[in-house]
């Protein structure tokens, strides 16, 4: 893997992490096109950490508010909802870790998952007209949908925001909860992978990993700011066309 490969993969992660088109799925596709066979999923974790930093920067005001206003009952409830939403992905990630890793080696699975993501994005148009805020029930359902996004090709942002919309939440609230929910999810995935790699040789140099992380952070920050504007215009389902087309192209080309 070269420095250019790392920057390409980091940029792809930065663009696709927040757009509802599956970053992990695109990383699998990109590695296949570049002829890369990387050990485990270290590059996915490194680039996800880059986009994690971009989420923290974009939502820093919310994070600071929740941290310093913890005594507020509404703040406590929101943080508890984030905790509840994290549980399903934690359970799936720990119990089916070795099985999930096999998905990262199957480009055919990615194609089916992208098509599934596209259908979910179209379904989000049938949103519940009942106005709803984040609560314990909604956070659990959004958390379950996030757990499905462990499979490469299923967009984490796409399926969690769509679930929020279908539950009656407005796009802004659904997006904020989705991206704040990404912080413990990505952090947990990075920690688990780091623990697994303690006794394994690191076959990717620090310079390459840093290039992937830095490019995913910069591009991720820009794409997140852009995507938040798209959401306010109600254009989420437009990405469904892209997911289905790319999924079909890959499926027919396999």
Q: What does the pLDDT look like over 165-175, one tens digit per residue?
A: 999 898 889 99
Q: Is the pLDDT of residue 23 over 60?
A: yes
Tell me what pLDDT residue 146 has: 92
- Asked if 236 and 165 count as a contact pair (C-beta separation under 8 A), the reply is yes
pLDDT band at 103 (very low <50, low <70, confident <90, very high): low
SS3 of residue 198 by DSSP? coil
User: For residue 38, what pLDDT band results from cuts at 50, 70 and 90?
Assistant: low
Please determine, for residue 67, whether its predicted confidence score (pLDDT) is greater than 90: no
Contact 13, 217 (CB under 8 A): no
Highest mean pLDDT among 15-29, 34-48, 139-153 belongs to: 139-153
Distance between CA atoms of residues 122 and 18, nearest Å: 17
Question: What mean pLDDT is reported for the chain?
Answer: 85
Flag whether pLDDT at 40 surpasses 60. Answer: no
Query: Which of 97-111, 160-174, 231-245 has maximum average pLDDT?
Result: 160-174
Q: Which long-range contacts (CB under 8 A, 24 or more apart) does 169-175 make?
A: 169/132, 169/133, 169/134, 169/138, 170/131, 171/231, 171/232, 171/234, 171/236, 172/231, 172/232, 173/133, 173/134, 175/228, 175/231
């Amino acid at each position: 893997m070269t420095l250019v490969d790392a920057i390409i993969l980091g940029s792809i992660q930065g663009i696709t992490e927040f757009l509802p088109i599956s970053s992990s799925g695109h990383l699998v596709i990109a590695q296949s096109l570049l002829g890369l066979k990387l050990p485990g999923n270290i590059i996915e974790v490194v680039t996800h950490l880059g986009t994690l930093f971009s989420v923290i920067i974009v939502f820093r005001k919310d994070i600071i508010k929740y941290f310093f206003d913890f005594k507020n009952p509404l703040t406590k409830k929101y943080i508890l909802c984030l905790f509840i939403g994290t549980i399903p992905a934690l359970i799936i990630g720990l119990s089916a870790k070795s099985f999930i890793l096999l998905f990262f080696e199957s480009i055919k699975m990615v194609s089916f998952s992208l098509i599934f993501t596209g259908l979910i994005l179209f379904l989000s148009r049938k949103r519940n007209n009942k106005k709803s805020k984040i609560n314990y029930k909604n956070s659990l359902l959004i958390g379950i949908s996030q757990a499905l996004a462990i499979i490469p090709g299923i967009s984490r942002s796409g399926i969690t925001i769509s679930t929020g919309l279908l539950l009656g939440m407005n796009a802004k609230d659904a997006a904020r909860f989705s991206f704040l929910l990404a912080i413990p999810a990505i952090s947990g995935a990075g920690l688990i992978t780091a623990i697994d790699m303690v006794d394994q040789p690191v076959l990717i140099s620090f310079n390459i990993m840093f290039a992937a992380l830095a490019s995913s952070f910069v591009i991720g920050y820009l794409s997140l700011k852009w995507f938040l504007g798209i959401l306010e215009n109600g254009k989420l389902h437009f990405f469904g066309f892209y997911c289905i087309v790319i999924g079909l192209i890959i499926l027919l080309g396999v």
